[in-house]
């Protein structure tokens, strides 16, 4: 029996099948990871990544009674989180910005405790001032007025906003000499600024869901 050619062939087929199954499982686990790595590599090479840090898993809300900016640019990009997942965003970049009645809020839900809200306010008397401001947002609302706006410009050729405010070649973008937005409401993943002057800063942590809007 042990020398049977049929039994030997059968065992050989089982080993071959087992090997194929293991390789299939390995490929199923490896391909998504390679795809993410390749996507990050392409994004880095093309300068498409927005925030220069890994964003958290929570978006935050920002509101202001008014925003006035000089040197405005807006274009599509992506953020990356700690899991190396890519997150599409619309980058709003302003060379010099002033915000009145700024509010920023984020809500964290914890086991047993429930919702915890972090609220930050500033600029009630003296406006908040920011230079080279970048906001990676997924939602923006308000009443806006632009001067000398260019809509549909190639994102790689933007030149009115901060020096670093450029996206990928062939992608849609817009820019303007100045922008004014009243009743601003924005949901974002990240904010970067060269300088950020918060006059009358106040921070509060409380239980429950308390957001800027």
Q: What is the pLDDT of residue 127?
A: 98
Q: What is the pLDDT of residue 50?
A: 77
Q: In the block, which residue shows the tokens 């915890």?
A: 116
Tell me the C-alpha distance between 211 and 132, whole Å: 26
pLDDT tens track, the chain, 213 positions? 545 555 445 545 544 454 555 555 544 444 444 444 455 555 544 445 577 799 999 999 999 999 999 999 999 999 999 999 999 999 999 999 999 999 999 999 999 999 999 999 999 999 999 999 999 999 999 999 999 999 999 999 999 999 999 999 999 999 999 999 999 999 999 999 999 999 999 999 999 999 999
Residue 200, sorted as left (phi over 0), alpha (psi -120 to 50) or beta, turns out to be left
Q: What is the pLDDT of residue 52?
A: 76
> In a 3-state reduction of DSSP, which class is residue 39?
helix
Which residues, listed in sequence order, are joined to residue 100 by a DSSP beta bridge?
A: 66
Tell me the C-alpha distance between 176 and 144, whole Å: 12
Q: Give the tokens for residue 31.
A: 């391909």
Decide: pTM greater than 0.85: no
Q: What is the pLDDT of residue 13?
A: 53
CB 157 within 8 A of CB 166: yes
């Amino acid at each position: 029996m042990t020398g049977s050619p049929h039994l030997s062939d059968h065992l050989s087929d089982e080993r071959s099948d087992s090997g194929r199954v293991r390789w299939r499982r390995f490929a199923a686990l490896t391909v998504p990871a390679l795809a993410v790595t390749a996507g990050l590599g392409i994004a880095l090479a093309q300068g498409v990544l927005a925030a220069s840090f890994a964003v958290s898993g929570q978006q935050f809300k920002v509101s202001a009674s008014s925003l006035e900016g000089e040197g405005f640019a807006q274009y599509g990009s992506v953020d990356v989180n700690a899991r190396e997942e890519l997150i599409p965003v619309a980058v709003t970049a302003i060379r010099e910005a002033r915000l009145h009645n700024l509010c920023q809020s984020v809500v964290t839900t914890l086991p047993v405790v429930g919702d915890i809200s972090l609220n930050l306010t500033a600029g009630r008397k003296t406006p908040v001032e920011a230079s080279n401001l970048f906001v990676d947002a997924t939602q923006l609302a308000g009443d806006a007025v632009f001067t000398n706006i260019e809509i549909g410009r190639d994102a790689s050729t933007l030149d009115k906003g901060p020096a670093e405010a450029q996206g990928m070649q062939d992608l849609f973008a817009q820019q303007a000499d100045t922008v004014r937005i009243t009743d601003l409401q924005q949901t974002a993943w990240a904010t970067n600024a060269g300088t950020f002057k918060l006059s009358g800063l106040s921070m509060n942590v409380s239980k429950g869901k308390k957001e800027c809007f």
